[in-house]
Amino acid sequence: MKDLRIEKLARLLCRYSLKLKPRDVVAITSDTIAAPLIRACYREALRCGAFVTTDLRIEALDEIFYAEANAEQLRWVSPFAKYKLQKIDASLGIWADENTKALTNVDPKRLAAASAARKPLNKIFMDRSARGALRWVGTQWPCQASAQDAEMSLEEYEDFVYGAGHLDDPDPIRTWERISKSQQALTDFLNQAREVRIVADGTDLRYSCKGRRWINCDGHYNFPDGEVFTGPVESSVTGTISFSFPAVHHGREVEGARLTFEAGKVVKAEARKGEEFLRAMVAMDRGSCYLGE
């Protein structure tokens, strides 16, 4: 039986998050296991009058790449990927994995090398986004691997993900418009702040946000959403922060992460699990040891 929440999600992503218009060029990027949502988004984007291109992956290609690629191949960046980022008006990313731990045993240095090579692409993406020339949104497809990580059945995890997006509501778009208005009040309050101090168990962190703008994240970029953020003054971050939730990046899991900052820079990175990987990511380049947001 068709899950109407998928249709609601596709409509919300295309019409609320991306605000697609006739003749917009939108790229849909995902793994093929998210086929039901890919199809729904493709259909909805066409109904908006957009021109749609797709970039669909199959499972295990990343595993093969990191196992077989030589140093030159690790650093190679597709010119077609660069061209696409320069031309599209909107990007719709759907995160989906059959195995969230597939890259767990890959050498962190190989992951870092490939990630560093893609920095020019990321810069194009972020620069165009900052200018308002590129709209983007990313969302989660509830799949078995993520359900297992959350220690839920697939049905329970689907209910969790779709519930977080208010997709059971009669009109989710109207719901998110209300959330946006509510969060804007908090955003306006924080935009008057000059300094922030965060104190919790294992955490005492202070930073300046003078001259920085707080942003209302209301489902126009990541979805579901529901946060307010800023970028601190880079050299102002001082103290220690501990994370009670695990972080997963490139299939590598870091648990019990604890970062210590001095003059904005990470001077100590510790973790109960995945410490080597955490340190490799922090040391990846000159900017990776500074707090971004």
Shared-domain flag, residues 152 and 59: yes
Q: Is residue 161 a part of any domain in this protein?
A: yes
Q: Is residue 291 a part of any domain in this protein?
A: no
Shared-domain flag, residues 13 and 120: yes
Shared-domain flag, residues 21 and 161: yes
Instruction: Count how many residues are written for the chain.
Output: 293
Shared-domain flag, residues 37 and 164: yes
Express each pLDDT in 137-173 by its tens digit: 999 999 999 999 889 999 999 999 999 999 999 999 9
Express each pLDDT in 14-38 by its tens digit: 999 999 999 999 999 999 999 999 9
Shared-domain flag, residues 126 and 211: no
Q: Is residue 290 a part of any domain in this protein?
A: no
| Tokens standing for residue 192 | 């008057």
Angle at 39 between CA 129 and CA 14, to 5 degrees: 35
Q: What is the CATH number for 103? A: 3.40.1830.10
Greater confidence (33 vs 282) lies with 33
Shared-domain flag, residues 124 and 258: no
Shared-domain flag, residues 267 and 148: no
User: For residue 216, what pLDDT is reported?
Assistant: 94
Supply the range of the domain harboring residue 267. 193-218+225-282
Q: Answer whether the bond into residue 224 is a cis peptide, omega within 30°.
A: yes
Q: Is residue 174 a part of any domain in this protein?
A: no
Shared-domain flag, residues 14 and 150: yes
Shared-domain flag, residues 239 and 157: no
HEC profile of the chain: CCCHHHHHHHHHHHHHHCCCCCCCEEEEEEEHHHHHHHHHHHHHHHHCCCEEEEEEECCCHHHHHHHHCCHHHHHCCCHHHHHHHHHCCEEEEEECCCCCCCCCCCCHHHHHHHHHHCHHHHHHHHHHHHHCCCEEEEEECCCHHHHHHCCCCHHHHHHHHHHHCCCCCCCHHHHHHHHHHHHHHHHHHHCCCCEEEEEECCEEEEEECCCCCCEEECCCCEECCCEEECCCCHHHCEEEEECCCCEEECCEEEECCEEEEECCEEEEEECCECHHHHHHHHCCCCCCCECCC
Express each pLDDT in 171-217 by its tens digit: 999 999 999 999 999 999 999 999 999 999 999 999 999 999 999 99
Q: Is residue 35 a part of any domain in this protein?
A: yes
| Tokens standing for residue 110 | 């190989």
Shared-domain flag, residues 106 and 236: no
Q: Is residue 81 a part of any domain in this protein?
A: yes
- How many domains does the chain divide into? 2
User: For residue 172, what pLDDT is reported?
Assistant: 96
Q: Give pTM, 2 decimals.
A: 0.83
User: For residue 100, what pLDDT is reported?
Assistant: 85
Shared-domain flag, residues 36 and 108: yes
pLDDT class of 252 with cuts at 50, 70, 90:
confident
Shared-domain flag, residues 23 and 101: yes
User: Beta strands 25-31 and 51-57: pairing type?
Assistant: parallel
pLDDT class of 132 with cuts at 50, 70, 90:
very high
Output the CA torsion sign for 138, 144, 148, 151. positive
